[in-house]
Structure 1
């Protein structure tokens, strides 16, 4: 157990410090114990935050906060909640609707080779129990924990994503960005920063250590060009996507491109978990994502999954499917194998890759790339702040202290490491 003075304020990254995945950040502030996020890693050998460390540091928690519904931030919330069954879980209304689907799918993927095992059903039961502890809040509502108050700020990134403000003492203020972007997207606005000056700013750093700048306008034009060229040579297109956020953005971009005449009319099938997430997005946004050209991939009775994918490729010009990183065993991986020998086809990546993924190897391993005759392109539509945006956030907020997390640092200066005790 970590002993601390009543007026001592600490941050301990339990996961997601010097890495992307398993985000979990313990705050001891104003005498309260608050955990922000409880995610998973894409490494099946070590998927969870260090819950044993967390339990030893903080036998009880006053609040659990989930910033958004990507599984690297919420995928282990049911396991965390089972350790703290009396602790409420706070999140936004949108995240609450998306979280249950995303965590359930993460459980299903984890047990894909051991379906209906006792461990799988135990996790589903724990998820049901955790969902009963969710408390949904609007942006800018104040969650009062004695002398400490928690506020959600719009973070951009994806629908419902929140940055977390923690107010304590006479003027203390922690601002935890979560995954953040100042750039508006078709499915969500940009982040809205607080007016208060933080005592401590804790910022994601996914792209902070890269000098690459993201131009959304250039990425869209390059994307349309690749789609147009592929369709004109009668080739099929696969766009691997994250089910939550990226899939819906790509769907709207394809519809917009056809409407504006920048790409020819084409039939788009949306497959995998992206189908279900897109239905939730339509309800939350009160806006149609599916239309005459962009449709959910049909189901085929009596066909194997690979046969269904082959049928979809016969019917559609473009497949938008999960996973975005071409993880083995996912629908997009099957589609990629089917298209790999077609020189007229194209696979268009649109986002981040972890080194464990097949998509990363395809982009970086020449031996893997040689086995694919189809065109491989990457047009980056980032939902994260780049280095310039993060520097803008730091400059506008002018915090007393800054700590970076959720990234792979090329310098340890100002970066919070897993298990490190950070005082502020």
Structure 2
């Protein structure tokens, strides 16, 4: 019987709560610890984890999206002596992302003892973080872990595990071979691997992502809305998608593909964009694109109404219009005017208000604005995922982080290799 195992504790046959337990080469390693957008069951299966192993040798984080990092502080409290490895960029983004996830979780129970306990766990977890560069090799017992750029967002990493008698396993994390405006495409190992553990967000979805076509459709919607004197709402993921959309808007104005208009960046996207500017030495804010102003002393919804009056376009979190977030408030305000447009640009879970707006007529009847969906993926599509398999030529491929794929690996499933 093989002594090498993979057990998804979350993020197996789902997108959310990613957490992958490896028993590999005599080491016990956990990759990621995210949350799912469910109030009843937000965390990976920590109870199973503690039953399987009372100790971990290392924790590795692929990137700072909350479905991969949102419960890292809770995990670290269960294993306080375990080091946590991630890239420098991910470490800088991590605190803000987890802090915001905690804030959203307790949006209706502010300053509760549980909220302050989680902030304390976050501080303690950050003290255990060990930062590494891309292509660094971390040795965990007899296992060597090499860190590769995964594309996707700033700092996102894939991990190559070398173990045993010249065996290797490549864990992609969220990956994209295609370069974006803000990050280059993923870099793959030059050698073949024995085992490939791959994300599968868009596996078996036959539609190929045509970036130039998506750009032109996006610019066309922007032009039509501005020409009819409407306003735009762009709900975005704060990390990655916001900065990509900002870059696309700025590029469109500079190239004359869309007319000049005023854009406010609000919610967590405002702070994350400032971090991106510092880490990439690239300007995101300019004459047309500005961080949304603060309005002190007035209720939040009134402040949002004032910003809608001032700007032609609001780019704000959350990307799924989760209730209680700034973009949800903007949608309620801007949805009253049929000249306005909301543009979705990414994945939405069924629990989100954005999903309901797109799929539930009872919700839609309360909104008059136009609804558009222009896809700008930070994930590899079906064709790219198959290309990764072709390049790495694994003996076995294990698919995680997906829904409805025939070759999907399920949560709690024990994968022996």
Q: Same fold (TM over 0.5)?
A: yes
Q: Does 1:218 align with 2:213?
A: yes
Query: Offset of 1:295 from its aligned partner?
Result: 0.3
Alignment map for 1:6-405 (pairs within 5 Å): 8-405=3-400
Cα deviation code 1:5-44 (max 9, x no counterpart): 7x61110001110111000000001000000000000011
Separation in 1, partners of 2:137, 2:165? 16
Query: Offset of 1:337 from its aligned partner?
Result: 0.8
Separation in 1, partners of 2:365, 2:144? 55
Q: CA RMSD in A?
A: 0.9
Query: Offset of 1:146 from its aligned partner?
Result: 2.5
Task: Report SS of the residue matched to 2:159.
Answer: strand
Cα deviation code 1:235-276 (max 9, x no counterpart): 010000000000000011111000000110100000000001
Query: Offset of 1:302 from its aligned partner?
Result: 1.7
Alignment: residue pair count: 417
The answer on whether the counterparts of 2:26 and 2:141 sit within 8 Å (CA) in structure 1 is: no
Which aligned runs of 4 or more in structure 1 are off by greater than 3 angstroms?
A: none
Task: Report SS of the residue matched to 2:197.
Answer: strand
TM-score normalised according to structure 2 size:
0.99
Unaligned runs of 5+ in 1: none
Task: Report SS of the residue matched to 2:96.
Answer: helix
Cα deviation code 1:268-319 (max 9, x no counterpart): 0000000010110000000110111100000112211111111001100000
Query: Offset of 1:405 from its aligned partner?
Result: 0.3
Query: Offset of 1:198 from its aligned partner?
Result: 1.5
Task: Report SS of the residue matched to 1:312.
Answer: helix
Task: Report SS of the residue matched to 1:238.
Answer: strand
The answer on whether the counterparts of 2:85 and 2:130 sit within 8 Å (CA) in structure 1 is: yes
Cα deviation code 1:85-137 (max 9, x no counterpart): 11000000000000110001001111111111111111111111100000000
Task: Report SS of the residue matched to 1:402.
Answer: strand
